[in-house]
Structure 1
């Protein structure tokens, strides 16, 4: 392992045994390249020249750290440097997870022509500043952004426990208003200046190099991972497991031993085939959590905007029906941002005045396989100039334990304070689950999902800059409202490794 400076950026180089030239792997990260040295050695042991680099302004690299601003140009420069070395055969695979996945993609999607990698492995991709700060509906993600900024934002090093330490010292930190001044960091207000940008998806459609998109069904960026795979113009593979943001290191409760893959070995085998040009078309493997099975991702999801896997199999669970979702309480409730429904708690105080609409299904008579995009269609009214609708789907076990399955949040802006009944669709994201017989489904419809998401003040003011909060009366009409689940009639098991490599 050699440490170099390339354009002022600290760079580790690990060469394989034997004479070159070799294909190369480039991993650029803000999370300290030294943490990836074992990964670089593993790539080298498989015949790749492995390069790890601290991004500009982080850890041992020179310059100013400005998240998302320099990665296209710096990544292109690193690729050009690799291709100019005598140990390089000119072929480079860009790899990375989370922000590092953005680093892998940026030279291809945003960089100068002719400086793109030859293949990309993007795991749990944090595609851009607007994508990580907001849901697709525009609702602001609060606790995750505050945690990341405290850990990595205005600093050259990292402290993964910074948010926990801050909450220990200031328990009401995330309650403070305005959100734009919640943290003292000079760059914190700029987090909210960025909006979600469709241009990366448009540019991905023009890509011709192979892509391996890896995600977790419990990862907050699962929808972005799926969109990237669906929109990619070149050969594309999807691997979606029952994992959180840490992938196999962060398995979900529904993960089974069959879902623990050797990702390092799979990445190297895929990279060899990608560089050899043997991969074609769009394929994918999706784990069915709660079972031992993996399924193929449906071929109809060929482009951005195409029907999602399982869409044709949407089964309605209608609100207010005993065979669907029985109303427990709260067809009328008060969404009070001073006492918001918590994202970090599943218990409900049924003695208090309703703060959400609560519905429940009868026990499932048989196992239910879900594979695709779920959603809730609401007929509802809200008081206020702006209203968020947060829907949480929960599985209730016979012993009373509750397990979150999916959450969706959308924003409605009537423009005046009086009630106005509306029809709303709340996407719940991609579900790949087997639900056991005897489970009951619980649906919660609320006005907030805090602290995961910032509170809507209901005044019409920007939730990021608002300082005044008002309660909002809500009504959910049973007729016309329903939970739609992507029920799969059968599961054809596949081998995820074979599907990824063919």
Structure 2
């Protein structure tokens, strides 16, 4: 490994024994040491590897502005790489989360032969807790700051500048459009690795739907870039193949002109089985209603002094206990779907608020964990609200139960009003995609 300036930014360069060689490029805001084991594996397979700190991150000079410089800086890095005597002129781009975004931004360079991205950034919709975690621990300053998110939740004022807060669509839509346009224009093999447990699941599937030659794998991977597994983890984390075991052979094959021989795969939660099927949902799926049991009409009484809490993704929601500020319904019959569930209901409220629908999986042991959620703004008066939940593949075995919870906010994941709010809900429907692709 050698440490060199690449396109004005700092990078680690790993070279195989035989040169010239194709090059795998990862441009990262997270620091390069965590990527060294994968780089070593790739050089052992005959590829060169360049791991570059993004502008304003770790060793690279400048100021980091999320989404701003990745096309120009990425092309500069690829120009430098392909001009080196050890390069055969072929590159592949790779990365997780923001690294994948940086890869998509540079995909138009003529040297690029393929892109492998895992759990891509930016998310299709931002939950407040996920955005706060990004801005405190990942997206601000030169270095990672692990633990700052948890500290921020205990402070009356944020311990670091967050920029415009709370987040709005303008926080991520420009970057999302930028990545989408690059993916749509690229006619080359792409590998899309996602996790149902990650807020990026919808982004992974949306980008894969835009790609012309996509292979899509949706699993249940747990990492700090997914749902921040807690010590009290209640999720039955599936035994998945490691994403590196899928991505690295694919990169080697594409870079050397071989057939990657990798097909679509989809992990089905609940049963935790793998299917050799395309996990991308249909663009306009037929919807069917899952029967629900519970009160025909009920009220949510929000108290700003005691808002309904949102525990970490991996925690057991049963510990929250009975409350007056939640409407809980239970699905009956066999629960199975692939894609984005929708919740519709009639609402009557005295103040504006955000209605949150949370789909909760309860195991025979009584453990309850979040599968997916969605939100909708509601205004004073009578209306129909519709919440589109995050996509997921679900097939609950016998003895497992699906609950639908309706709340006003779910702090810190979703904002809650600062004044008391009463919301009456009725005619609740849970609509799920009715068939497989």
TM-score band (shorter)? Answer: 0.7 to 0.9
Are residues 262 and 470 of structure 1, via their aligned partners in 2, closer, same or farther at CA, if it must alter by over 3 Å? Answer: closer
Are residues 31 and 96 of structure 1, via their aligned partners in 2, closer, same or farther at CA, if it must alter by over 3 Å? Answer: same
Are residues 276 and 87 of structure 1, via their aligned partners in 2, closer, same or farther at CA, if it must alter by over 3 Å? Answer: closer
1:409 counterpart = 2:372: no
Aligned equivalents of 2:279 and 2:321: distance in 1? 42
> Secondary structure of 2:405's match?
strand
The answer for the alignment partner of 2:383 in structure 1 is 421
Aligned-pair distance for 1:201?
2.4
- Structure 1 gaps of 5+ residues are 177-181, 318-323, 458-468, 492-502
The answer for the alignment partner of 1:45 in structure 2 is 44
What is the TM-score normalised by the length of structure 2? 0.87
**Equivalent in 214, 235, 251 of residue 213 of structure 2:** 235
1:435 counterpart = 2:413: no
1:92 counterpart = 2:91: yes
The answer for the alignment partner of 2:314 in structure 1 is none
The answer for the alignment partner of 2:250 in structure 1 is 270
> Secondary structure of 1:420's match?
strand
The C-alpha deviation readout for 1:365-422, integer Å capped at 9, x for no partner, is x6x44322222122223322x331100111223443222222111224x4xx4x1222
**Equivalent in 283, 288, 298 of residue 315 of structure 1:** 288
Aligned-pair distance for 1:263?
3.1
Aligned equivalents of 1:373 and 1:421: distance in 2? 22
The answer for the alignment partner of 1:495 in structure 2 is none
Aligned equivalents of 2:357 and 2:205: distance in 1? 21
Contact 1:25 1:51 in 2 (8 A): yes
Aligned equivalents of 1:249 and 1:141: distance in 2? 14
**Equivalent in 139, 161, 167 of residue 185 of structure 1:** 161
The answer for the alignment partner of 1:145 in structure 2 is 131
Aligned equivalents of 1:248 and 1:26: distance in 2? 26
> Secondary structure of 2:62's match?
coil
The answer for the alignment partner of 1:494 in structure 2 is none
The answer for the alignment partner of 1:196 in structure 2 is 173
Are residues 123 and 488 of structure 1, via their aligned partners in 2, closer, same or farther at CA, if it must alter by over 3 Å? Answer: same
> Secondary structure of 2:294's match?
strand
What is the TM-score normalised by the length of structure 1? 0.76
Aligned equivalents of 2:227 and 2:355: distance in 1? 32
Aligned equivalents of 2:35 and 2:267: distance in 1? 27
The C-alpha deviation readout for 1:448-492, integer Å capped at 9, x for no partner, is 02101233x3xxxxxxxxxxx3222211112xx311234668x9x
The C-alpha deviation readout for 1:141-197, integer Å capped at 9, x for no partner, is 322222222223432221212223444xxx254xx6xxxxx4542746596552524
Aligned equivalents of 1:488 and 1:244: distance in 2? 28
Aligned equivalents of 1:274 and 1:93: distance in 2? 8
Aligned equivalents of 2:245 and 2:49: distance in 1? 15
Are residues 394 and 298 of structure 1, via their aligned partners in 2, closer, same or farther at CA, if it must alter by over 3 Å? Answer: closer
The answer for the alignment partner of 1:253 in structure 2 is 235
**Equivalent in 110, 120, 123 of residue 118 of structure 2:** 123
Contact 1:377 1:483 in 2 (8 A): yes
Contact 2:342 2:386 in 1 (8 A): yes
The answer for the alignment partner of 1:161 in structure 2 is 147
Aligned equivalents of 2:200 and 2:245: distance in 1? 24
> Secondary structure of 1:125's match?
coil
The C-alpha deviation readout for 1:246-273, integer Å capped at 9, x for no partner, is 579979934443xx21433432322244
> Secondary structure of 1:56's match?
coil
1:379 counterpart = 2:346: yes
- Structure 2 gaps of 5+ residues are 312-316
RMSD: 3.1
Are residues 335 and 283 of structure 1, via their aligned partners in 2, closer, same or farther at CA, if it must alter by over 3 Å? Answer: farther
Aligned-pair distance for 1:72?
1.5
Aligned equivalents of 1:208 and 1:330: distance in 2? 52
Aligned-pair distance for 1:25?
0.3
